[in-house]
Amino acid sequence: MTELNDLLNQAKHVVFMTGAGVSTASGIPDYRSKNGLYAGQEAPEYLLSAQCLQREPQKHYDFVTKSMIYPDAVPNVIHEKMAEFAQKKGAMIITQNIDGLHSKAGTPAEKLVEFHGNLTNVYCQKCGQTATLAEYQQDMHHKGCGGILRTGIVLYGEPINEDNLRRSLAAIESADLLVVVGTSFVVYPFAGLISYRSLHAKLVAVNKQRISIPENGVMIQNDATKEFSSVNVE
Ligand SMILES: [Zn+2]
């Protein structure tokens, strides 16, 4: 029995908020960390911006295809346990990750908000038709019309999808337990979401490194894969 296990099983409305740290155990680098995805590249905030996509689509395309796509990555114990809580106890998952692993782990679509979009929703900017990620990886141009393809990730300078924002706020406002995992809470507006929690909601952060959390929050400083290995739906 662990503190996290007790809290999760006692709560009625759990919301998990996840970041890059939950996918590192699946072999996807923790972006923004020193040895992570963004180290040693041209400013990623530019390469992943709407401006870059518009002005220098090749640069954007090269960065996305070379540094962000991990087709062989599989969900780890964190994704799996969260999916189980989503299936059996109606927990909601709001993720910053664009890797699709929460979905691959079996999280029902209605219990998942991919706050920053995802890689697999590829479409043509010119004609709007969808394409597969494999087609995108072969060529950034749409075979049908020659327009430039893009993924469904939210780029710097683009607004968060309204439906995602609405669903996130609704979940957070009604949560009695918020569990923040694998994110240092530096990216807004994602980080600002917790300020919409109810006064009675408990806030728990699971992270290897101590992170700054609100005063009454509980910091569980541990490897999240270890922590979630001892969690079970009761
Ligand atoms: Zn097209």
Distance 69 CA to ligand 1 centre (A): 22
For residue 43, what pLDDT is reported?
81
CA separation for the pair 154, 115 (Å, rounded): 8
- Please, what are the domains in the chain? 1-28+74-116+158-234 (3.40.50.1220), 29-69 (no CATH), 120-151 (no CATH)
Give the DSSP letter string of 135-173: HHHH-SB-TTT-PBEEEEEPPBTSPPPHHHHHHHHHHHH
For residue 188, what pLDDT is reported?
75
For residue 71, what pLDDT is reported?
85
Active site residues: 116
Per-residue pLDDT of the chain (234 residues; tens, 9 = 90+): 799 999 999 999 999 999 999 999 999 986 555 445 555 567 888 899 999 999 999 999 999 998 889 989 999 999 999 999 999 999 999 999 999 999 999 999 999 999 999 999 999 999 999 999 999 999 999 999 999 999 999 999 999 999 999 999 999 999 999 999 998 776 778 888 998 999 999 999 999 888 888 878 999 999 999 999 999 998
What are the residues whose beta carbons fall under 8 Å from the beta carbon of 142, sequence distance 6 or more? 124, 126, 127, 129, 131, 148, 149
**Contact of 228 with 78, CB cutoff 8 Å:** yes
- At residue 47, the 3 state secondary structure works out as helix
For residue 209, what pLDDT is reported?
85
Ion ligand 1 residues within 5 Å by Cβ? 124, 126-127, 142, 144-145, 147
For residue 189, what pLDDT is reported?
80
